[in-house]
Amino acid sequence: MTQALLSVEHLRVFFKSEQGYTEAIKSISFQIEPNQTVALVGESGSGKSVTSLATMGLLPAHQAKIDPASKIVFEGVNLLTLSANELRKRCGKDIAMIFQEPMSSLNPVFTVGSQVAEILKLHTRLSKQQIKEKVIDLFQEVGLPSPQDKYHAYPSELSGGQQQRVMIAMAIACEPKLLIADEPTTALDVTIQKQIIDLLETIRQRRQMSMLFITHDLSVVGEIADRVVVMRHGVIREQGDAKQVLEQPKDIYTQALLNCRPRLNSRPYRLPVTSDYMDQDANKIDFKPQHEHLQQRSRGVTGDEPIILEAKNLRKVFSTRQGLFSKKEFVAVKDASFRLAKGKTLGLVGESGSGKTTIGLLLMRLHEASGGQILIDGQDILKMSDKAFAAYQRKIQIIFQNPYASLNPRFTIGQILLEPMQVHNIGENDQERQAIALNLLERVSLPASAYHRYPHEFSGGQRQRIAIARCLTLKPEIIICDESVSALDVSVQAQVLNLLQELQDEYQLSYIFISHDLSVVKYISDQVMVMNHGDIVEIANSDELYQHPQHEYTKKLLQAIPRDLD
C-alpha cells in the first residue's frame, strides 16, 4: 500500500474566546495520496480554511491552539513538531498554497514578476537572470498572455482571472509535492472558473503533484477531485470517492448541499435549504427529494406584460488620459436596448468586462451615461435634474455584490434602515420608521434584536438580507441585484434566492439580476440578456436561451457550466 503524502490525524484546533477556548476543529482525520486531488468541502465556518492554515503553520499563535496529540504528517514528518525555521523551508517549496483572494494576497506596490521572483530567491540558488527567465516560463505555463510584459505589470493592471494565474505561478514556482488551493474559483466568471480548474488539473498531472482543493461549491468538485471530504462545524460528516459522494451521498448534510444548488433541468417554486434536512431525523427523511420531484415554477415573458423600464441605445464611454495631451477611450456599453416587464426578472450574464455592472450603475445614475435613454413610466431619467430624479430613486434600488462593504460599519442595523426613510421622508416620525424597519427585519427572517446590533456581528448571508431590507424601506418597484449571491455558500444562496422570489410574488417587484452563475440566472430569470465586450449579443426567454442558444458566445458560456448541474 502506498504511503500517504499527507496524513491529518485527529486534528483539534482551538481559538481563544471570551469564555476561554472554543473548539473549531474537532478531531478530524483524512489522507492525501501521491498524485491525488482531495476536495475539502463545506460552508463558511466549517473549518476548511483553518485545516489548511494549520497544515501550513499559518494559524495566529496568540489566538489559536492545536492539541498536542494532533498530527499532520507530511512524507513521514509531523509538521506540528517542526520549528518555525524548519517549517518555513518545507512550506513554499514542498507544500504551497493558493489563497482565496488574489487581490488581497498580491502586494499592490510590487510588480507581479518581482513577487513570484521572491519565492525563487528564498528557495533556490538561481541567478537573477535565471530567476527572471523562470518566472516568465511560469507565466507562460499558467496561460498569462504576453508573459514578458506581464512580468512588469502591477496587480491592479490584471483581471481577476489573470491575478489568480499569477497566484498559481507563485505556488508552483518551486515545484511543490502538495498544492493547497483555497477557494481558487470563488466569484470568478464561469468561463474563467473552468479555465482555472482545467489549468490546475493540467499542471497537477504534468508535475505529478497532489492537491488539496478547498471549496464550498460541490458543482466544481466533480470536475477535479478524486476524493471528497465534507465538513460541517469542524467535523467531517462524510468522505470517500468523489463519484460515490456526489452520486450516492450517505450523509444527510452532503445530500442537503447537493440539493440546495439550482439545476438547469428543474425550477422548483422554492429551493431546498440545509435546515430542511438538518432539522429532521436522518432515519426518517426521504433521501431522494430531488429538484424534479418538487412543484415547478414556469418562467418567461409573452410580450403582453406592462413595461416598467426601457433602455434605448444606452451607451457608456470611459476616458483615460494618455500623457499630457491625449486621451484613450474605452466603450464599456455599446448602444444597449432592452425592456423590463413588471413583476418579471431580467437576467444579465457575461464575463468580467462585458458591461453588466456598468449597465446596473447607469440605471441607478451612479455612472453618467454617454448617450441613450432610460425610460421609467415613460420619463427619461437621464434628462432629469438631481432633484427631479430623487422621486424616481424610490422606484429603483440596487443590492451590491459585497454585503461586507455596502453596509456602514459605524451604524447599527437600525440606523442603516432608518437613514433612507429619513432622506426620502417616509413615515411621520422615527417611531413610525422604526416600526417599518422592525417589520422589514421580520420579513427577511432576522430577529428584532438585530435592530441594535452592528454589521460585523452578522454572517455574509445575514448581511445580504439586511441589504435587501434596506432596499425595501423605499418600497421600490425595481431592484437591481448586482452579483448579490455570487460569494455566498450554496445553502445561504438558496435562502436569499427564496427570499427574493417571495418578495417578487408578494410585491410584484421587477428584478434585473446580474450574475456570472448561469444556473442561478436560469433559476430566477424570466428573460436572459447576454453581454460580451459591451454588446448585447442575445436576449431570449430563459428556457429558450438555455435549450437553443443562437450566438456562439452564449454557447461558449453554457459549455463552461459544471457537468453535474445538467
Q: Which CATH number belongs to the domain containing residue 543 in this structure?
A: 3.40.50.300
Are the beta carbons of 552 and 520 closer than 8 angstroms?
Answer: no
Q: How many helices (H) and strands (E) does the chain have?
A: 21, 21
Whether pLDDT at 513 is above 90: yes
Higher-confidence position of 437 and 45: 437
Are the beta carbons of 541 and 299 closer than 8 angstroms?
Answer: yes
331, 332, 338, 343: CA torsion to nearest 10: -160
Does residue 154 lie within any of the structural domains?
no
Q: How confident is the model at residue 187 (pLDDT cuts 50, 70, 90)?
A: low
Burial tier of 201 (Cβ tally within 10 Å: 0-12, 13-18, 19+): middle
The pLDDT assigned to 285 comes to 46
55-59, 399-403, 424-428: range with lowest mean pLDDT: 399-403
142-146, 485-489, 553-557, 560-564: range with lowest mean pLDDT: 560-564
Are the beta carbons of 340 and 478 closer than 8 angstroms?
Answer: yes
175-184, 326-335, 371-380, 534-543: range with lowest mean pLDDT: 326-335
* Average pLDDT score, the chain: 88
The pLDDT assigned to 448 comes to 92
- What average pLDDT does range 170-183 have in this prediction? 91
Distance, CA of 166 to CA of 173 (rounded, Å): 10
> How far from chain centre, in Å, is Cα 470?
22
Q: How confident is the model at residue 457 (pLDDT cuts 50, 70, 90)?
A: confident
Residue with cell 502591477: 154
The pLDDT assigned to 284 comes to 47
The pLDDT assigned to 205 comes to 92
Higher-confidence position of 281 and 500: 500
The pLDDT assigned to 545 comes to 94
Whether pLDDT at 344 is above 90: yes
**Count of domains forming the chain:** 2
Distance, CA of 103 to CA of 108 (rounded, Å): 8
Domain end, chosen from 279, 298, 317, is at: 298
pLDDT in tens, 229-249: 999 999 999 999 999 999 999
The strand ranges marked E within 323-434 are 326-341, 345-349, 371-376, 379-380, 396-399
527 and 382 fall within a common domain: yes
Q: How confident is the model at residue 282 (pLDDT cuts 50, 70, 90)?
A: very low
275 and 345 fall within a common domain: no
Does residue 540 lie within any of the structural domains?
yes
The pLDDT assigned to 287 comes to 44
The pLDDT assigned to 456 comes to 86
Within 10 angstroms of residue 259's Cβ, the number of other Cβ atoms is: 24
Are the beta carbons of 328 and 320 closer than 8 angstroms?
Answer: yes
Are the beta carbons of 253 and 272 closer than 8 angstroms?
Answer: no
Q: Can you give the residue range of the structural domain that contains 279?
A: 263-298
Whether pLDDT at 486 is above 80: no
The pLDDT assigned to 296 comes to 87
Does residue 414 lie within any of the structural domains?
yes
Tell me the sheet residues that pair with 210: 178
374 and 268 fall within a common domain: no
Helix (H, G, I), strand (E, B) or coil at 413: helix
348 and 284 fall within a common domain: no
428 and 468 fall within a common domain: yes
Distance, CA of 158 to CA of 279 (rounded, Å): 45
Cell of 546: 438555455
Does residue 142 lie within any of the structural domains?
no
Higher-confidence position of 566 and 10: 10
400 and 368 fall within a common domain: yes
The reported pTM is 0.84
